[in-house]
Amino acid sequence: MNAPARLQGLLSPVLTPFDSDRRPDPDRFVRHCRWLLQQDVGLAVFGTNSEAASLALAEKRRLLDALLEAGLPAQRMMPGTGACALPEAIELTRHAVQAGCGGVLMLPPFYYKGVSDEGLYRAFATVIDAVADPRLRIYLYHIPPVSQVPISLALIERLLKAYPGTVAGIKDSSGDWNNTAAMLQQFQPHGFDVFAGSETFLLANMRGGGAGCITATGNVNPGAIMALYKNWRSHDADAAQATLDATRAAFARFPMIPAMKAAIAWKTGRADWAFVRPPLVELTPAQQQDLQAALSAVDFQMPNASMLA
Amino acid sequence: MNAPARLQGLLSPVLTPFDSDRRPDPDRFVRHCRWLLQQDVGLAVFGTNSEAASLALAEKRRLLDALLEAGLPAQRMMPGTGACALPEAIELTRHAVQAGCGGVLMLPPFYYKGVSDEGLYRAFATVIDAVADPRLRIYLYHIPPVSQVPISLALIERLLKAYPGTVAGIKDSSGDWNNTAAMLQQFQPHGFDVFAGSETFLLANMRGGGAGCITATGNVNPGAIMALYKNWRSHDADAAQATLDATRAAFARFPMIPAMKAAIAWKTGRADWAFVRPPLVELTPAQQQDLQAALSAVDFQMPNASMLA
C-alpha cells in the first residue's frame, strides 16, 4: 500500500455549527465540509477556529465519524488531536489514523506554561509511540498567542530527527514571519511542510517554498484564497494578496469566530449558524450590521452558500 | 437534610502519583489522601499541582471513585472540575456533587484568551444550570499566571448575585495580595469564602477574614501550615509565617510539582513517587541533591511518611 499524497494547498479549520442548546450539529457540519471540498479546501477540523477546545472528546469522535459515514474523503482531513491530557490526544489521534486521515494537527499540552523543550518533546513522543502506526503524520501546531506554549526551532529539529516522516510539518500561527521564514529555510527541504497560519502570509510562504496555508477565513472566503494559492506565480499575485488582506481585515475588526459564523448566518439565512459555545459570545445585532457593512465594502462572496443552509 | 459544613482551613491540591508507564496509581493516591486527612488537610484533588490538566476525564472519575470506595469522606473533598469543554466540566461536577463532595474548584475554560466577562459568565452559568443541584458549591479558581484567563471582581459580583450559595468562594492564585484583599472586602461578608492560593498569604488572609488556604506545599509540609492556620491569632504568628515562607522558597527554587514529588520519593524511599507526566519533567539527580540540601536547611518534616510508601 502506497502512502497517500501529502496534504498541501489550502485547508480550513472547519467551523463547528451548534444548535440552540449549543450541541454540535453533525448535519450542517457535513454540509459545510462538503462545500469546502467542492472548492478544493482541505478539512482541518477541530482547530482553534472550530472551537475544538470547547468540544468534549466524545463530541469530536462523533463529528469525525459523521464525516466518514457521509463518505467524505479522510485523506483530505487533518483533524486537530492535541490535548492537555495525553491519553485523550492518543485516543483521538489513533482514531484519526485508523480512519485514514491525511494527517493530524497537534497542539502541545497547553495548560502548564514555561515548560521545557524536553517536556514538550516527551509529550509528542509519547503520543507518537503510543499510536505506533506508520501511517501517522503529525503537523505541529505553533500558536503561541493562544496556547501560550510555543514550539521552538530546536524542538522541531529534535522531533524531525527522531521521527522522520511521522513529524510531517507545521502550522505556524505565530504571526511572526521571521519564524516562518526560519522554518522554511531549516526544515522544509527535509520533508517538513510549512503551512502559514493565515492567508496573510500565503504568498510569502509559497515564495519561500512552503506547502500552503491553513486559515480560518477559508471557511468564508475559500474561492479567492484558493485562487491565489493556484496562481501565486502570476504577475498580479501581490494585488490578489492585498485583496485577501482587506477581506480578512473586515472580519478581524470583530472576534473572528463569531464574525465568521455571523457571516454564514447572514449568507444562508440560518440564524443558528451564528451560535458559539461559551466562553465565546455571539456578535450583537449592532456588530452584525457593522460586519455586513464591512463585508459589503470588500471582495467577499460565498458562492453556493445555500449548500450550508 | 442539612447542608454539610462549609469547607475551610487548609486544603491541598493532591499530588497524583504515577507508575512507570505514567498511569495514575490509585493505591498510592488513596494513601496520600489518608495521610493528608490525618493532618486535617482537605482534599483539593485535581488541582494544578495534581497535574489534573494532564489527566483524562475518565482517569479523574476513576481516581475520585477510588477515594470514595476507600471510605474517605467526600465532604472533605474539593475536586477540580473545570475544563475547556463544558460538557466535560458538567460531567465531572455532576459526579462530584452526587458523591457528596464539599465543593468543586472550577477553572474557567482556559484555551481561548482575551475572552469577555460575558462569555465567562455564560461558561459558569452553563455548568451550574446543567448540574442543577442545590448541593453544588462552586469555588472559582483564579490563577492567571497559568490559565491566562483571569476572573474579574465584576464577574464574581455577577455570579454571586445570580447564584448565591452555589457560588461559594474562590481560590486566589494570582499572587497579587491587592486582589485578594479586594475580594475579602467585597465578597467575604456575603458568604463567599476567600482562600489564599498559597500559604505565603495565609496569615494575611486570615487577618483579613478569609477562610483558609489551598496550597501545593500542603502536600509536603502540612503540619507547619496547619499549625499557623490554627494559631494565626498567636503572638508568634509572623515568625511562623516566615518559617513557612522559607520552606516554600526551598521548593520554589525548582519546578514545584517535580520538586514536591521528589521530596516524597526521598522521604519514602519510593522512587516512583517522583514520576510526572509530560509536559513536566522529573528533577535531575543533581537537582534532587540540591533540593535535599535546601530542605535540610529549613524547617521541613514529613511525619509518618511511611504511610505514603
Position B170 scores a pLDDT of 98
CB neighbours of residue A52 within 10 Å = 28
Amino acid in the structure at residue A24: P
Amino acid in the structure at residue B29: F
Position B305 scores a pLDDT of 87
Choose among B255, B50, B104: nearest CA to A85.
B50
Position B4 scores a pLDDT of 65
Q: Where are the beta strands (DSSP E) in B197-289?
A: 212-214
* A179 pLDDT more than 60: yes
Instruction: Please provide the distance, in angstroms rounded to a whole number, between the alpha carbons at the two ends of chain A.
Output: 39
Helix, strand, or coil here: B77? Answer: strand
By the CB < 8 Å criterion, does A149 face chain B? Answer: yes
User: Is A119 within 8 Å of B57 when comparing Cβ atoms?
Assistant: no
Average pLDDT taken over every residue of chain A: 97
Residues 6+ apart with CB under 8 A from B133: B94, B97, B98
Quick one: closest CA in A to B122, which residue? A278
The residue written with cell numbers 502506497 in the block is: A2
Query: Using 50, 70 and 90 to split pLDDT, how confident is the model at A304?
Result: confident
Q: Where are the beta strands (DSSP E) in chain A?
A: 9-12, 42-43, 104-106, 138-142, 167-172, 193-196, 212-214
| Full DSSP string of B89-117 | HHHHHHHHHHTT-S-EEEPPP-SS-S--H
By the CB < 8 Å criterion, does A84 face chain B? Answer: yes
User: Is A281 within 8 Å of B119 when comparing Cβ atoms?
Assistant: yes
Q: Which of residues 193-232 of A touch B (CB under 8 A)?
A: none
By the CB < 8 Å criterion, does A252 face chain B? Answer: no
Query: Using 50, 70 and 90 to split pLDDT, how confident is the model at A309?
Result: confident
- E strand or H helix at B127, and its extent? helix B117-131
Question: What would you measure as the largest C-alpha separation in chain A, in angstroms?
Answer: 55
Of A55, A111, A119, the CB nearest to B281: A119
Quick one: closest CA in A to B119, which residue? A279
Position A3 scores a pLDDT of 60
Q: Are strands B42-43 and B104-106 parallel, antiparallel or unpaired?
A: unpaired
* A265 pLDDT more than 50: yes
Query: Using 50, 70 and 90 to split pLDDT, how confident is the model at A1?
Result: very low
* A303 pLDDT more than 90: no
Helix, strand, or coil here: A180? Answer: helix
By the CB < 8 Å criterion, does B113 face chain A? Answer: yes
Helix, strand, or coil here: B213? Answer: strand
Query: Interface pTM (ipTM) of the complex?
Result: 0.96
By the CB < 8 Å criterion, does A92 face chain B? Answer: no
Candidates B23, B120, B277: best to mutate against A (most CBs of A within 10 A) is B277
User: Is A86 within 8 Å of B112 when comparing Cβ atoms?
Assistant: no
**pTM exceeds cut of 0.90:** yes
d(CA A287, CA A277): 18
By the CB < 8 Å criterion, does B56 face chain A? Answer: yes
d(CA B192, CA B239): 29
List the grid coordinates of A199. Answer: 492567508
CB B203 within 8 A of CB B238: yes
List the grid coordinates of B155. Answer: 464577574
By the CB < 8 Å criterion, does B85 face chain A? Answer: yes
CB B65 within 8 A of CB B30: no
pLDDT in tens, A88-143: 999 999 999 999 999 999 999 999 999 999 999 999 999 999 999 999 999 999 99
Contacts of B53 in chain A (CB under 8 A): 84-85, 109, 111-112
User: Is A112 within 8 Å of B281 when comparing Cβ atoms?
Assistant: no
Taking only the tens of pLDDT, chain B with its 309 residues reads 456 689 999 999 999 999 999 999 999 999 999 999 999 999 999 999 999 999 999 999 999 999 999 999 999 999 999 999 999 999 999 999 999 999 999 999 999 999 999 999 999 999 999 999 999 999 999 999 999 999 999 999 999 999 999 999 999 999 999 999 999 999 999 999 999 999 999 999 999 999 999 999 999 999 999 999 999 999 999 999 999 999 999 999 999 999 999 999 999 999 999 999 999 999 999 999 999 999 999 999 898 888 888
Of B86, B88, B110, the CB nearest to A111: B110
d(CA A275, CA B249): 47
By the CB < 8 Å criterion, does A56 face chain B? Answer: yes
Could you tell me which residues are beta bridge partners of residue A80? A105
Could you tell me which residues are beta bridge partners of residue A196? A172, A213
Mean pLDDT score, A219-242: 97
Of B88, B118, B277, the CB nearest to A281: B118
By the CB < 8 Å criterion, does B298 face chain A? Answer: no
Integer angstrom CA distances of residue A281 from A272, A277, B147, B299? 13, 7, 19, 50
List of domains in chain B: 9-236 (3.20.20.70)
User: Is B112 within 8 Å of A85 when comparing Cβ atoms?
Assistant: no
* A202 pLDDT more than 50: yes
d(CA B51, CA B278): 10
d(CA B175, CA B177): 6
* A29 pLDDT more than 70: yes
pLDDT in tens, B112-171: 999 999 999 999 999 999 999 999 999 999 999 999 999 999 999 999 999 999 999 999
Å between A231 CA and nearest CA of chain B: 34
Contacts of A59 in chain B (CB under 8 A): 85, 87
Amino acid in the structure at residue B89: A
Quick one: closest CA in A to B121, which residue? A279
CB B232 within 8 A of CB B203: yes
Contacts of A48 in chain B (CB under 8 A): 111
Q: Which long-range contacts (CB under 8 A, 24 or more apart) does A268-275 make?
A: A268/A305, A268/A306, A268/A308, A268/A309, A269/A309, A270/A28, A270/A308, A270/A309, A272/A17, A272/A18, A272/A19, A272/A20, A272/A25, A273/A17, A273/A28, A273/A308, A275/A17, A275/A18, A275/A19, A275/A20, A275/A22
Contacts of B108 in chain A (CB under 8 A): 279
